[in-house]
A and B are shown apart, each in its own frame.
Chain A
Amino acid sequence: MKGPLAVALLGTVAFALLPYIVPAYYVGLMIPFFGYAIALLGFNLLFGYTGLLSFGHAMFLGIGAYGAAVMTGLGFKSFELMLVVVILASVAIALPIGLLCVRYVGIFFGMLTLAFGMLFHSFLFKFYYVTGGDSGTRVARMKILGLEFAKYNKIEFLAGPFYYYCLGLLIIGGFLMWRIVHSPFGLHLRTIRDNARKAEYLGVHVHRFRLAAFVISAAFGAVGGAILGFRVGLADPELVYWTQSGQLVFMAVLGGFANFFGPIVGALSYILLQDQLQSLTQYWRFVLGAILALIVIAFPQGIAGLAVQLKRLVAGRPA
């Protein structure tokens, strides 16, 4: 258990020092990283640990972002209160959808979640008065921990207090998820992933546990989505489009879904890669696609898996 704790501590220290080392632009870039990383912790409980690949997970990002917009629209300015509300909303929406979806596995589960994601997307598009249609709806500035930080402009706020606030959220989310996957509950999820039929005969409530994983992953998605929406200041239907769900899958595979830290590594790598490639070429999607193909073929364990292999190689052959 020493290894993962060391990785977590090292990562925390590195991110805590980051604003003092790199230009403000890159600090700002870390906000979407935090949002995606938290969402992916949840996504991977479903994918890496329970064996269910959702193609509609961006729906929950949307619930977070639109929840933030609705809350600020109603005049509530507390980020924490908003988080509680979007978590409850995502749970309320994930329960009925999950009930339908968890009866299926593999491609059928994927297609059903994709369908619900698309439904939600068209709902956002059509119900103009509630959602602002294709132009989205504004997410106003909020207080964190009851503090206004009025002397900071939005950019400074994002790169300063909000950066550390999100880092804190990621640490809390990461700790919670670590406990979940290493609990008796988490063990039963992994038996479902490996062999659902055998699991049933060992007393595992397969459907109920898949549903629980789905709901927990939705809550993490909503928190991530709230961060993403707040950063841009806009809840926008693009955030819910199926390509966004695909992007979550991409990040998980890039980082390595078999490793606890894989999705976090994936989110970071994706954000940095996308940023660099976009400034280099307008064909950045092409390059990203090629990288994904390469990863799937050559390193199916992703970047985190590659790191573990390298570590073993070094440890196995002392100089």
Chain B
Amino acid sequence: MTVLLETRNVSKSYGEFRALDQVTMAVREGELVSVVGPNGAGKTTLVNLLTGLLEPTAGEVLFRGNNIAGVGPVALADHGLARAFQLIQIFPQLTVRETIAAAVVSRQKKRWRILARLSSDAGIDARVAEVADIFGLGPRLDTVAAALSQGEKKLLDVASAFALDPQVILLDEPTSGVSTSDKHGIMKTLIAAAKRAGVKAIVLVEHDMDLVAAYSHRIIALSEGQVLADLPPDRFFADTHLIETVIGRRRGH
């Protein structure tokens, strides 16, 4: 399978502190790869490197063969890599329609149309309706984002990222702040939506081992900035020592 997103011997240091040390990983077409590890293992740094927000101290970050180290979020969106945040990110005063349309405008490269009427652009409208439909937000198109329920806000956040037609989407704890009973519902919606939207791979950063076990094709475990394991779920969960390290026994206990 084609490699879509990879890091090669990537290190990132903040002064003396080495957040990531020689990390090599790859995400292939058709995969859902989970990144797990205790707090401070370097997950956030890795995500920020993968999304071009940070530049590595050493090594390469490649997206479909192009170096994307430090290119920034906008260029990344143009390349076809989208990210949804752990904390829900919405535009409080914009409607569901406008929020999704913002991404569609970027995707269709219509952002410099200064005097064109957004409301009469059928190309944008059709795509917005399609995306809203996938996420069950169709009936809420004209609702202001601030007035949505917490679960709907989460869906809108992810839906707007999907509207970029990304090849790879990076989900940072997509079910945080969602009740336990809804977790699987949200994950299933996301994965089904990704398939319908033509997303080729998903990178999931997740604490919840239930979700990781249920949906991953491969699990990458980080610890103290290094790759501890890169295994399919059955082999990963067979290793009790590994799981203890990843779930993180608190120091001093």
Contacts and interface: CB of A to CB of B under 8 A. Distances in A.
Given A184-B121, A191-B91, 5 more contacts: A184-B113, A187-B101, A194-B91, A198-B160, A202-B160
A186 B161 CA distance: 19
A116 to B, nearest CB: 25
Given A185-B112, A190-B94, A203-B74, A197 B117 contact: no
B93 to A, nearest CB: 5
A202 B77 contact: yes
A209 B74 CA distance: 12
15 contacts: A184-B116, A185-B112, A186-B114, A188-B105, A194-B90, A194-B94, A195-B89, A198-B90, A199-B102, A201-B51, A201-B161, A202-B102, A202-B161, A202-B164, A204-B111
Interface residues of B, number: 41
A176 interface: yes
Interface string A169-195: 000000010011011111110110111
Contact of B111 (A1, A182, A185, A197): A185
- 4 smallest beta-carbon distances between A and B, as pairs: A203-B106, A194-B91, A203-B77, A198-B89
B78 interface: yes
A77 interface: no
A194 B119 CA distance: 20
Nearest to A195: B91
Contacts of B51: 201
A141 interface: no
B95 to A, nearest CB: 11
Contacts of A206: 74
A162 to B, nearest CB: 28
B28 interface: no
A49 B114 CA distance: 14
A315 B167 CA distance: 48
Nearest to A200: B73
A205 B76 CA distance: 12
A210 to B, nearest CB: 13
A11 B93 CA distance: 27
A190 B77 contact: no
A291 to B, nearest CB: 26
A190 B93 contact: yes
Given A191-B102, A200-B72, A202-B160, A183 B91 contact: no
Interface string B4-16: 0000000000000
A184 B124 contact: yes
Interface in A105-136: none
A184 B164 contact: no
A184 B124 CA distance: 10
Interface string B108-150: 0011111111110100100000000000000000000000000
Interface string B79-110: 00011010001111110001101110111001
A87 to B, nearest CB: 15
Interface string A14-58: 000000000000000000000000000000000000000000000
Contacts of B161: 201-202
Given A188-B102, A194-B94, A195-B89, A201 B83 contact: yes
Interface string B151-165: 000000100110110
B78 A203 contact: yes
Interface centre among A184, A204, A206 (most CB of B within 10 A): A184
A190 B99 CA distance: 10
Nearest to B163: A202
Contacts of A1: 119
